[in-house]
Chains A and B, each alone.
Chain A
């Protein structure tokens, strides 16, 4: 166990303005959340009872936290991340252990100083000034300067909403100047990829966070790749409780569950279909707020920006037919075993607050009529050719959802052919009236898109606590609407109207939103991540007396 030079700061003090999204998370909850909340309450009562009975244990330093992830590799450079990419979820979590932000949110929704101790803005919220914390050191003990903060923010500025502000340093201050009001800058800086780092000449990044990357053991033969993080003794907030953190990559989800059961891992990812099984086996499962959106995008050959009105109308007609044909309730409640929620909007309820206003109507008869009219206009050839559905979201779950989409579409008389991310699948569900109807094998013209375009099943991982920034990122990344000439207003009502318009265009059909599920080993203590999915690995400590302490693994894969 390493000695600690600094004790970790308790999470308290400094009440700030709470973001709306966080307030909603605190005040609104779905029935599933109620159950989860009830379970948490029950656990708290049990914990309190245990503590009262003398079984309580104070946090302890030391130990190696074993984390297993499904992602095959870690990319800790935020500048390279793609907005909304589910693959970057693990990157975000691990980067949060290495890098710090200017400000953070606590679990009560209050902005807390991080690298910035103070901040202020003008009346129009165009000019923001952040005062940096003094004596902050990187993991190599070098001091953090305002210029380095500016350099990091300038690299990440294209992801801001609105993008590319003027960022300057003035003494110990960092000034961010926007051309339009940005009242939600703190939400943006407290979430997403907006970390502060130093980029060395060799391209390596240094952070001021509680951990630093100590070693990378690449995958070899039957062993998985392993990242080893060590506690940062120079961290301004104190060193983490665990000495080291071992992150094994590329571990299949089921294998992660087994490792968790066997005590070989402390923190693992769980897929929705394994949540029930984990719960049945009395494993600790943590669920975030719904942070992963599965959506069906109707893509034409040209992006929305350059599409003609006729193409937009056809896409909207197809979108309407598909939207009516999609049985989101069954997807969420049966296929995904109630581990997801039907989605009718781009932003989740906890982020926007108005998602429940949108309906998820399922009317196959109307969908048939619309698709019939659409194919009548498009011609017999287009009617005979299946629409390509490209599964761009990763994982088996995406494939399952895509298959369901194909079946639903077939109910509406729309033939859909599935394609994997890399290649054409061997078969497709085709037009028919019965779900057990015929299926045709892929033919040579299968890969040829119809005039009606093609479909993409995408997954979007919400990462920003700013609903405007999230929607902007989504629109920009998925090209689902014409770019706005002016910066979108952060006003909630205008945001609602904007999303309503986007939904009406039917170029992106939300399907389901899903939480992230994390399985926790019994020694893990103080696992208190944010509901929007941000982990706080520095606060986690290991209760070695629980008996099933995980042994740092060599990452060897077992059949």
Chain B
């Protein structure tokens, strides 16, 4: 993945994360705000209910006091205070009082607690209502919640008790208003809210005891958990009920316990708030957030692309410059954009390449001088060898001038022969140098490497079994079939010849010449190994240097020629050697030349040779600087 792509993705993810974070934050805080608003609304409704409750209580107080103050009630109380009073006369009076005063429940209770008349449960007349007489003073008492037993059900009542003193006895008037669906319907609720009332008539949850403003509540079982929780611990509970898989159908219920006069749990008021608006708002926010995220992503996409391109362009130019430097164009210069770090880096790069170019120039000059010196040394050395005998010969010839003619002639012939030999020697030296200097341009064709190797080895068969010399045994481990490669057959033959010759030179005491070929990662690998004394690491590092030789009679050009050929074929050569255990030269040549096997334009156009040398164990080739031939 490129730096630009990485940078683009980083920018993109950053934008996405930022926008998502913002969207989440907005949604979260909006939702929280709505929840709070909903809670406030519910609190307001609860407060309204309590106010309504208190107001209804006041109304009941007023109506019960009206009944207590009515003349008919007073007459009843006075009559019933008499001995042998007939209570049956008043059996239906409570019904009339309830109708007249708009109350749902009215009961008259005698001083001894006997129920005289009941509007809501006439059949109970004659029974005792001890809870009324248990309280001494009902005066100024407020309305309280009471469980009202009816013939066919149990109701919750907002009840008030007042007393009518007759002599030293009290006559009790109990009035109440039913808390039922009508009461719930009378509450003014905001849109999306509703109330339910649960009559706590039994220890466990009874679905039929739950009513809403239309009557028995639907799906009452869903409230069982809330009610049972309050039955266990009469504390307000807030719980959300999901009516379906659609979250918009859910409702949040605030359950408020309704205690009786003695603190017993008589009912539970459930204030429900629909989550439809909340869900709709949240969905709307999510939609907006989604659009914003999409827009931000799109914008971020373009901006990131532009920013990444803007940031990475100098870096890419730097990378391109570096690649050009690596390719050998030391004087590469890149454009400096701005004065920021990248600009400074570009300037530094330019400075570096400038310095490198200068240093390269100096190095080339130095190497050139060194090469000339080496060449001069080698030449001097090579030339001195024949020149010294020639000088001796000439001096002998001068001294022989004083000798007799016969002797002189003898000396002369001998001297001229020597001079001719040395001159021939000089000529050979010059020819070898000339040959190296004139490496031909390769002409590629499809070459069978195995055949080339066999041909090269075949040339030295005579030396393998030369009389008086140690035996050298060639061994072939050639992979058949081996794909043909694009190569110059003559140059390849020459390189193989040099390698075999080098191996033979390394085994003056005889040994085994081993030749391997194999196909390796699309290349053809050739290994030529000897069993000589091996090379030192220092020798390995200088092995392919022209004119370097470890042999007394060598010119130091053989392996240089091999390297040159390998280089012209875009291959790689390396040496693996361990002192005392021989050396192995490994050549890897591509099956196909990069230019399709066209003729190379010469050493200058050839790819830099890949040269490596290792000692002891196999290791990757060590790159070496290109070698120029003067």
Chain A residues engaging chain B, CB cutoff 8 angstroms:
273, 276, 327, 330, 333-338, 399-404, 406-407, 418, 425-429, 435-442
Residue of chain B at shortest CB distance from A334: B88
How far, in angstroms, from A368 to B586 measured CA to CA in the complex?
A: 119
A442 surroundings in chain B (CB, below 8 A)? 208
Q: How far is B543's CA from A190's CA once the two chains are assembled, in angstroms?
A: 156
Docked complex Cα distance between A337 and B87 (Å): 9
Complex Cα spacing A401 to B125, Å: 11
- Once the chains bind, are B123 and A404 in contact (CB under 8 Å)? yes
B206 at the interface (CB under 8 A from A): yes
B342 vs chain A, min Cβ distance (A): 83
Asked if B124 is at the interface (CB within 8 A of a chain A CB), the reply is: yes
A426 x B153 contact (CB < 8 A): yes
Contacts of A427 in B (CB 8 A): 150-154
B91 adjacent to A337 (CB under 8 Å): yes
* A436 touching B127, Cβ below 8 Å: yes
Q: Report 9 cross-chain contacts, Cβ distance below 8 Å, ordered by A residue.
A: A330-B126, A406-B123, A406-B151, A427-B150, A439-B149, A439-B150, A439-B154, A440-B154, A441-B208
With a cutoff of 8 Å between Cβ atoms, the chain B residues found around residue A425 in the complex are: 151-152
Complex-state Cα separation, A337 to B126, whole angstroms: 12
Using CB atoms, name the residue of chain A closest to B86: A338
Pair B151/A403 contact, Cβ less than 8 Å? yes
Residue ranges of B at the interface with A (Cβ–Cβ < 8 Å) = 86-89, 91-92, 121-129, 131, 149-154, 201-202, 206, 208-209
Query: How far does the Cβ of A254 sit from chain B's closest Cβ, in whole Å?
Result: 12
Tell me, rounded to whole Å, the shortest Cβ–Cβ distance linking B500 to chain A: 109
Instruction: Name the residue in B91, B124, B152, B208 with the highest tally of chain A Cβ atoms < 10 Å from its Cβ.
Output: B152
Query: How far does the Cβ of A478 sit from chain B's closest Cβ, in whole Å?
Result: 24
Assess the A334–B123 pair: CB atoms within 8 A.
no
List chain A residues, Cβ under 8 A from B128. 435
What residues on A are CB-neighbors of B88 within 8 Å?
Answer: 333-338
Q: For A404, what are the chain B residues with a Cβ–Cβ distance below 8 Å?
A: 123
Q: Is the CB of B123 within 8 A of A403?
A: yes
A333 to B88, CA, bound (A): 6
Asked whether, in the complex, the Cβ of A436 is within 8 Å of the Cβ of B131, the reply is yes
Contact residue among A418, A435, A437, A438 (Cβ-Cβ distance under 8 Å from B152): A418
Closest 6 CB pairs of A and B: A403-B123, A435-B127, A427-B152, A427-B153, A404-B123, A337-B88
B201 touches A438 (CB 8 A): yes
Q: Which residue of A lies closest to B116 (CB)?
A: A334
Q: How far is the CB of B582 from chain A (nearest CB, A)?
A: 104
For B86, what are the chain A residues with a Cβ–Cβ distance below 8 Å? 338
Of the listed residues B123, B124, B201, B202, the one surrounded by the most CB atoms of chain A closer than 10 A to its CB is: B123
Smallest CB gap from A402: residue in B: B123
| B152 near A426: Cβ-Cβ < 8 Å | yes
Inter-chain CA distance A404–B126, complex, in Å, is: 10
Residues in B whose Cβ lies below 8 Å from that of A338: 86, 88
A403 with B121: CB separation less than 8 A: yes
Given contacts A425-B151, A425-B152, A427-B153, 14 further A-B contacts (CB under 8 A): A333-B88, A335-B122, A338-B88, A403-B124, A404-B123, A407-B127, A418-B152, A426-B153, A427-B151, A428-B152, A438-B154, A440-B154, A440-B202, A441-B154
Q: How far is the CB of B155 from chain A (nearest CB, A)?
A: 10
- Given A425-B152, A427-B154, A429-B151, are A440 and B201 neighbors across the interface (CB < 8 Å)? yes
Interface centre among A327, A336, A440 (most CB of B within 10 A): A440
Q: Are A400 and B154 in contact (CB under 8 A)?
A: no
Task: Say yes or no: B124 contacts A407, CB within 8 Å.
Answer: yes
Residue contact A441 to B92, C-beta cutoff 8 Å: no
In the complex formed, the residue of A with least CB distance to B201 is A441
Residue of A nearest to B132 (CB): A436
Q: How far is the CA of A337 from the CA of B206 in the complex (A)?
A: 38
Let me know if B201 and A337 touch, CB within 8 A: no
CB distance from B124 to the nearest CB of A (A): 6
> With A327-B126, A407-B123, A407-B124 known to touch, is A439 a contact of B153 (CB < 8 Å)?
yes
How far is A333 from B89 in the complex, measured between Cα atoms in Å?
10
Q: Is the CB of B201 within 8 A of A334?
A: no
The answer on a CB contact under 8 Å between A435 and B124 is yes
The chain B residue with its CB closest to the CB of A273 is B92
Inter-chain CA distance A401–B122, complex, in Å, is: 10
Also in contact, A439 and B201, with CB within 8 A (given A335-B91, A403-B151) = yes
Tell whether A337 pairs with B89 under 8 Å between CB atoms, given A327-B126, A436-B129. yes
**Cβ–Cβ < 8 Å partners of B129 in chain A:** 436
CA distance A401 to B123 in the complex (A): 7
Beyond A403-B121, A407-B127, whether A437 also contacts B149 by CB under 8 A is yes
Complex-state Cα separation, A337 to B121, whole angstroms: 16
When the two chains form their complex, are residues A438 and B149 in contact, meaning their CB atoms are under 8 A apart? yes
CA distance A76 to B404 in the complex (A): 196
* Distance to closest chain B CB from A423 (angstroms): 11
Q: Select from chain B the residue with minimum beta-carbon distance to A338.
A: B88
Shortest distance in angstroms between B225's beta carbon and chain A's nearest beta carbon?
20
Q: From A330, which residue of chain B is reached at the shortest CB distance?
A: B126
Instruction: Please name all residues of chain B whose beta carbon is closer than 8 Å to the beta carbon of A437 when the two chains form the complex.
Output: 149
Bound-complex Cα distance A72 to B154 (A): 33
Q: A404 vs B91: C-alpha distance in the bound complex, in angstroms?
A: 13
Which residues of A have CB within 8 Å of B149?
A: 436-439
C-alpha spacing A407/B209, complex, angstroms: 22
A399: chain B residues at CB < 8 Å are 151
**Distance (Å) between the CB of A182 and the closest chain B CB?**
43
A15 to B129 alpha-carbon distance, docked (Å): 59
- Which has the most chain B C-beta neighbours within 10 Å: A337, A406, A428, A435? A435
Q: Cβ of A403: which chain B residues have Cβ within 8 Å of it?
A: 121-124, 151
Chain A residues contacting B91 (CB-CB under 8 Å) are: 273, 334-335, 337
CA distance in complex: A437, B154 (Å): 11
A477 and B127 CA atoms in complex are apart in Å by 35
- Minimum Cβ distance to chain B for residue A332 (Å): 9
On whether the beta carbons of A441 and B209 are closer than 8 Å, the reply is: yes
Across-interface contacts of A402 in B (CB, < 8 A): 123
A1 to B209, CA, bound (A): 63
Residues in chain B near residue A440, CB distance under 8 A? 154, 201-202
Q: Nearest Cβ in chain B — how far from A31, in angstroms?
A: 13
Minimum Cβ distance to chain B for residue A529 (Å): 27
Instruction: Give chain B nearest CB distance to A2 CB in angstroms.
Output: 44
Complex Cα gap A401–B89 (Å): 17
Residues of B within 8 A of A426 (CB): 152-153, 208
Give the chain B neighbours of A441 by CB distance below 8 A: 153-154, 201-202, 206, 208-209
Instruction: For the complex, give the distance between the alpha carbons of A400 and B91 in Å.
Output: 12
Residues of chain A within 8 A of B131, CB atoms compared: 436
* Chain B residues closer than 8 Å to A273, beta-carbon distance: 91-92
CB distance from A555 to the nearest CB of B (A): 27
Most buried by B among A276, A427, A436: A436
User: What residues on A are CB-neighbors of B126 within 8 Å?
Assistant: 327, 330, 334-335
Query: Across the two chains, which residue of chain B brings its CB closest to A425?
Result: B152
Residue of A nearest to B127 (CB): A435
- B124→A334 contact, CB < 8 A: no
CA distance A427 to B201 in the complex (A): 12
Min CB–CB distance A335 → chain B (angstroms)? 6
**What is the CA–CA distance of A187 and B149 in the complex, to the nearest angstrom?**
49
- Chain A residue nearest to B87 (CB atoms) is A334
Contact status of A335 and B125, CB under 8 A, knowing A438-B201, A441-B206: yes
Known contacts A436-B131, A438-B201, A439-B201; A334 and B125 CB within 8 A of each other: yes
Most buried by B among A335, A336, A399, A428: A335
Name the distance in Å between B267's Cβ and chain A's nearest Cβ: 14
Q: Which residues of A contact B89 (CB under 8 A)?
A: 276, 337
In the assembled complex, which residues on chain A have CB atoms less than 8 Å from the CB atom of B125? 330, 334-335
Chain A residues near B151 (CB, 8 Å)? 399, 403, 406, 418, 425, 427, 429
